[in-house]
């Protein structure tokens, strides 16, 4: 079989295999995240953010940022916590209480209570009346009690989520 007539067509398909389109990369990251492939998800989100740069007006920018922190919650929780808190401090009008809830919930689900509580604490300072964060504090308190994590329980007690 002769491949030469098909070569131009095959060359056109090659760029599609390794996309640099931010939306495609964010979608790939979301699929990997939902499949539990956290390291792959983080790579896709990082590539998307590199393609977007600091264009915070790009509709995929925040989605890529939050996706990256969710993926990191499973592979590098300290990096997820620190990255999200820096993001929140740098863009306070962009980050809402449900964003704090999203990242802290993901950290808690990954059994990274220390990091989840740090995000919860920052979120409750920024949004003291948030029902999302209040419910999250209760959930993290249950997780801490179930795991017997005394450090987490002490931190949550200081935030008012664990009784005296």
Per residue in 9-40, is it b (16+ CB within 10 Å) or e — as a string? eeeeeeeeeebeebbbbbbbbbebbeeebbeb
34-48 residue pLDDT tens: 999 999 999 999 999
What's the pLDDT score for residue 19? Answer: 65
Confidence of residue 16 (pLDDT cuts 50, 70, 90): very low
Domains of the chain (ranges; CATH) run 21-75 (no CATH), 77-164 (1.25.40)
Per the model's pLDDT, the better-predicted residue between 24 and 14 turns out to be 24
Per the model's pLDDT, the better-predicted residue between 12 and 46 turns out to be 46
pLDDT over 70 at 124, yes or no:
yes
59-111 residue pLDDT tens: 999 999 999 999 999 999 999 999 999 999 998 999 999 999 999 999 999 99
Per the model's pLDDT, the better-predicted residue between 131 and 163 turns out to be 131
What's the pLDDT score for residue 117? Answer: 96
SS3 content of the chain, % helix, strand, coil (to 5): 75, 0, 25
pLDDT over 80 at 160, yes or no:
yes
- Token pair for 86: 């820096």
pTM of the model: 0.85
Place of tokens 């993290």: 140
Q: What is the DSSP string of 84-138?
A: HHHHHHH-TTT--HHHHHHHHHHHHHTT-HHHHHHHHHHHHHH-TT-HHHHHHHH
Q: Cα separation of 156 and 1, whole Å?
A: 69
- Token pair for 20: 């640099």
Q: State the Cα angle at 76 between 71 and 79, rounded to 5°.
A: 95
């Amino acid at each position: 079989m002769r491949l030469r007539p098909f070569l131009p067509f095959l060359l056109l398909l090659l760029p599609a295999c390794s996309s640099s389109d931010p939306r495609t990369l964010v979608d790939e990251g979301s699929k990997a995240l939902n499949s539990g492939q956290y390291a792959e998800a983080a790579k896709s989100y990082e590539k998307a953010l590199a393609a977007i740069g600091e264009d915070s007006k790009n509709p995929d920018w925040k989605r890529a940022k939050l996706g990256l922190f969710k993926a990191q919650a499973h592979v590098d929780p300290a990096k997820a916590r620190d990255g999200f808190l820096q993001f929140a401090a740098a863009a306070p009008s962009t980050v809402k209480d449900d964003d704090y809830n999203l990242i802290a919930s993901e950290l808690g689900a990954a059994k990274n209570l220390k990091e989840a509580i740090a995000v919860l604490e920052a979120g409750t300072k920024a949004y003291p009346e948030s029902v999302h964060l209040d419910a999250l504090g209760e959930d993290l308190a249950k997780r801490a009690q179930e795991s017997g994590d005394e450090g987490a329980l002490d931190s949550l007690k200081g935030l008012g989520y664990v009784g005296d």
